[in-house]
Amino acid sequence: MNKGEHFESQVEALCSKAYLSDFVVRSPFYQKQDGQKKEAADVLLLMNDAVLMMQLKTRDLPSSNCMTDIEAGRLRKTIYKGIAQTKTCFSEIRNRTLIDLKNSRGITLPFHYDEVKSHIGIVLIHSYNDTDQDYVNHRIYHPRLHMEYGYPVHVFRFSDFVKITDELSTLPDLIDYLKMREAAFSKTLIPSPTPELDLLGLYATQHPRLEELVTSDTSFVIEQGLWTKFQSMEDIIKKRDVLRKMTSAYDHIIEKVHEGIGFSLNAETGISVEAGVDTCDPKEYAAIARELSSLRQLNRHLFIRKMIEKMKLADTQPEAFFALNLEDRNGAILFFSSSVDRITRRERMATVTQLQVAGRDLSWVVGISTEQFTTDTRSFDFAMVIDMPKGMRSELKAYWQQLAVKSSRSNADEWDIVRESLI
- Bridge-based pairing state of the strands 380-386 and 277-278: antiparallel
DSSP codes of every residue in 298-320: HHHHHHHHHHHHHHHHTTTSSEE
Let me know: does 32 contact 38? Beta carbons within 8 Å: yes
In angstroms, rounded to a whole number, what is the distance separating the alpha carbons of residues 355 and 321? 13
CA distances from 134 to 4, 23, 62, 65, 372 (A): 22, 33, 8, 6, 54
- How crowded is residue 140: how many other Cβ atoms within 10 Å of its Cβ? 10
Buried/exposed code over 229-259 (b: 16+ C-beta within 10 A; e: otherwise): ebeeeeeeeeebeebbebbebbbebbebbbe
Fill in the amino acid letter for 412.
A
Rounded CA separation 50/155 (Å): 18
Closest CA to 297 of 182, 180, 176: 176
Distance CA 245, CA 252 (A): 11
Q: Is residue 290 within 8 Å of 115, Cβ to Cβ?
A: no
Residue 341's φ and ψ, nearest 5 degrees, are: -65, 160
Per CATH, domain 3-183 is 3.40.91:
yes
Tell me the C-alpha distance between 190 and 219, whole Å. 6
Each of the 423 residues of the chain gets a pLDDT tens digit; together they read 688 888 999 999 999 988 889 899 999 999 888 888 999 999 999 988 899 999 999 887 666 566 777 877 888 889 999 999 999 999 999 999 998 889 998 888 888 899 899 999 999 998 766 655 544 444 545 678 999 888 999 999 999 999 999 999 899 999 999 999 999 999 999 987 888 999 999 999 999 999 999 999 999 999 889 999 988 888 888 888 887 888 888 988 988 887 765 444 343 333 333 333 344 466 778 888 889 999 988 889 889 999 999 999 999 998 999 999 888 888 999 999 999 998 899 889 988 899 889 888 899 999 999 999 999 888 898 888 887 888 888 888 888 777 644 444 333 233 333 333 332
Are the beta carbons of 67 and 76 closer than 8 angstroms? no
Domain definitions of the chain by residue range? 3-183, 245-416
Helix (H) or strand (E) holding 324: strand 319-326
Question: Rounded distance, CA 177 to CA 157, Å?
Answer: 16
The three-class DSSP label of residue 67 is coil
